[in-house]
Amino acid sequence: MKGNWKRFFLVRGAEVAGLALLAAVPLAVTNPFALGLLTLLAIYGILLIGLDVTVGYLGQVNLGHAAFLGIGAYTAGLTVTTLGGGMPIALVLAPALCFILGGLLALPALRLEGPQFALATLSFSALATTIINEWESLTQGAQGLQVPRPPIFGVALDAPDFYWLCLALLALVWMTMRNLLASRWGRAFEALRDSPIATDAMGVGTYRHKVIAFALGSSLGGLAGGLYAFNFQYLQPQSFTYELMVILLLGVVLGGRKSLWGAFVGAAFIVLLPNLLSNRLLFQIFSAIGLTAAVFAAGRGLAKKTTQPFQALAPVVAMGLLVGGSLLVANTEDWRKAIFALMLFSVVVGLPEGIMGFAAQLLTRLFRIAPPSLPAPASLESVLPAWPATGEPLLELKHLKRHFGGVHAVDGISLTVRAGHVHGLIGPNGSGKSTAVNVISGLYAPSGGEVLLHGKALPEGSLFKVAGHGVARTFQNLQLFGELSAIDNVMVALKDVFRVPLPLILLGLADAEEQRARAAALALLDLVGLRDKARARAKDLTYGAQRFLEIARALARKPELLILDEPAAGLAHPDAAELVKIIRRVHDLGVTIILIEHHMDVVSELCDVVTVLDGGKIIAEGPPDTVKRNPKVIEAYLGAVVEEEKAA
């Protein structure tokens, strides 16, 4: 517990101290220029925290954020000029409108990934700035919009007052976003970045979370826009174009993704950038620091063999160009776009974790900050319900079909899985095993036939909906949330634990629940032998451990029916033996299991019944020992397996 307090005081202490320091500045410094920069820092801080939600947490390239800043700014400006509203109303309307527009943009852009999503946001941004520019009767177009700064509740705000207002809002955004992103919401955002399929399969709606995350990030852009309007008191459409967008992305990446401090550092960089570019000496010093950092990072990466030579050298070359440029070029302003390009390139290649990602590692080591201590695991009985192994039909497939064009992957399968059984599904490669379970679990809709659970039709073609009916699964090709820790992977999937409503989460009142969830997740990690790996990132685990983690995560759904699609594929012998033990443990808890498996000895050892598929049809079914002797099975499948085993 001592470690927890130390961590709490250091981390929270740094936040409070930083904020207090910033708040105290106007008492000592009256220089309007410095105060202007600090005000801008607070505004850009809010803006970048919003951008980090989509870029860092959702992992999407969002090129629409500058447009949301503009929409927020014009909304706030027009609220006071045209509607005659006050500043508080303007500062509510601006984020509200951006929340709605962000949500509307995310809805169609939802199924898009990577470049397509980036293009969708880029089009939106072009559309928004064009409308602001051309709708002259409302926005005064290129001529610009004068915005007064109305008094709040009769009090006129001078420069320090307005700065404090911005700072207070930054603190509010900081606190609520910290709470949100540390909760199940933040985990869901990250999960859907790493595997949308698994996020749905774990009963966490990808759809809903992606839209909400994007709308939320955009609304922070709108809030920053509102403050921007009252700060500059003059708006022009061309302030919110593509160039600003590149700078904002540079800020987030440079500061460090998935980090509030990173957003703050990025904001500081953006605020200082114009001064940097207009002052030649400052720029030379900055480039020299950049080059030194690049050389240092390259040396470190090469020594530790974490980077390839070209990857290490590229930022050095880019920064070298910057230093050379700073000595040769008379007017750096003219070269700004090239300078941004070089900086962005260097950061993306050389410092993917950003300044704060790097600093966080350093500070953690320097102050010996231990990660938060974990609670004792809950008892397994309290986490998993006891399902009665009645032997009654649990899952029934009736003439199930799934065709892909001309390929009859599943071609009229009828079978019954009984409660409490381990039901084996075997057959040669391409016989339709994965397709069958993909249809059952909702990844694919059936082309024909029915899937019944407890005699009632399961939802079709939706992983998310099927997950709500007590069916959980693993994937033949692992679908872990790679950047999340093992325990967080399990916590994403945990069912019936999280009840604290969003407003209380934002206020930071979900600690007790989070701790209960951790205890439950640890019990499941313990079950698969990964308790001491709870904090390791999923992608850093060994292959075998990753397979086991997927089982623990599926169990967090408290499933009545667990589908394991070739859990032993690629496992070396000790892991394969461990897997058999794990499956037996899960079976003993009363969970019904569909097991797709190639090794006949594993099948014989575990399964009550085996169904053999070939060419999308059932060719045999029965107890493993009977099926093994079936001539059709030997011809279609086992002959090949025996050959394979001989060869191996």
Q: How many CB atoms lie within 10 A of CB 445?
A: 11
- Contact partner at residue 409 from ligand ADP, Mg ion, none, CB < 5 to 8 Å by partner kind: ligand ADP
Residue with the CB atom nearest Mg ion in the bound state: 434
Residue 625 C-beta: closest distance to Mg ion, Å: 24
Helices (H) and strands (E) in the chain, counts: 28, 12
- Does residue number 407 form part of the binding site for ligand ADP (CB under 6 A)? yes
Q: Give the footprint of ligand ADP on residues 200-259 (CB under 6 A).
A: none
Q: How far is the CB of 434 from ligand ADP (least distance, A)?
A: 3
Site for ligand ADP in 322-361 (CB under 6 A): none
Among the listed residues 16, 404, 626, 644, the single contact to ligand ADP using CB under 6 A: 404
Token couple for 336: 């700004």
Size of the site for ligand ADP (CB under 6 A): 11
Q: Is 93 left (phi over 0), alpha (psi -120 to 50) or beta?
A: alpha
Closest CB to Mg ion among residues 190, 411 = 411
**Would you say 121 or 474 has its CB closer to Mg ion?**
474
- With b for 16 or more beta-carbon neighbours within 10 A and e for fewer, the 146-184 pattern comes to ebebbeeeeeebeebebbbbbbebbbebbbbbbbbbebb
Nearer to Mg ion, 462 or 476 (CB): 476
Coil vs helix vs strand at 423: strand
Interface stretch with Mg ion, choices 228-236, 407-415, 434-442, 503-511 (CB under 5 A): 434-442
**Which residue lies nearer to Mg ion by CB, 416 or 476?**
476
Task: State the binding partner of 432 from Mg ion, ligand ADP, none, CB within 5 to 8 A by kind.
Answer: ligand ADP
Pick between residue 516 and residue 598 the one whose CB is nearest to ligand ADP.
598
434 touching Mg ion, by CB under 5 A: yes
- Minimum CB–partner distance for residue 204 and ligand ADP (Å): 23
User: What are the φ/ψ torsions at residue 533 (nearest 5 degrees)?
Assistant: -105, 15
Q: Which is nearer to ligand ADP, 229 or 593 (CB)?
A: 593
The answer to whether 627 and 621 have CB atoms below 8 angstroms apart is: yes
Q: Which is nearer to ligand ADP, 95 or 427 (CB)?
A: 427
Listed residue (622, 636, 472) closest to 554, CA to CA: 472
The contacts of residue 87 (CB under 8 Å, 6+ apart) are: 76, 80, 149, 150, 151, 152, 230
From 4-12, 158-166, 401-409, 631-639, give the range in contact with ligand ADP by CB under 6 A: 401-409
CA distance 45 to 24: 18
CB of 411 vs Mg ion, minimal distance in Å: 16
Site for ligand ADP in 409-438 (CB under 6 A): 409, 427, 429-435
In the complex with ligand ADP, the residue whose CB is nearer, 301 or 442, is 442
Rounded-to-integer distance, Cα 382 and Cα 593, Å: 21
| Residue 501 CB partners (closer than 8 Å, separation 6+) | none
Min separation Cβ 521 and ligand ADP, Å: 30
For residue 426, what are its two tokens? 């075997």
Instruction: Say which entry of Mg ion, ligand ADP, none residue 199 contacts (CB below 5 to 8 A, set by partner kind).
Output: none
Part in contact with Mg ion (CB under 5 A); list of ranges 204-212, 465-473, 476-484, 538-546: 476-484
Part in contact with Mg ion (CB under 5 A); list of ranges 314-322, 349-357, 433-441, 574-582? 433-441
Which of 215, 159, 125 lies closest to 39 in space, CA to CA?
Answer: 159
Minimum distance from CB of 405 to ligand ADP (Å)? Answer: 7
Least distance from C-beta 463 to ligand ADP, angstroms?
Answer: 14
For helices 2-28 and 32-52, the axis angle rounded to 10 degrees is 140
How many binding residues for Mg ion (CB under 5 A)? 2
- CB-CB contact of 198 with 481 (8 Å): yes
CA distance 30 to 25: 9
Amino acid code (one letter) for 292: T
Cβ(51)–Cβ(65) below 8 Å: yes
Where on the chain is the footprint of ligand ADP (CB under 6 A)? Answer: 404, 407, 409, 427, 429-435
Where on the chain is the footprint of Mg ion (CB under 5 A)? Answer: 434, 476
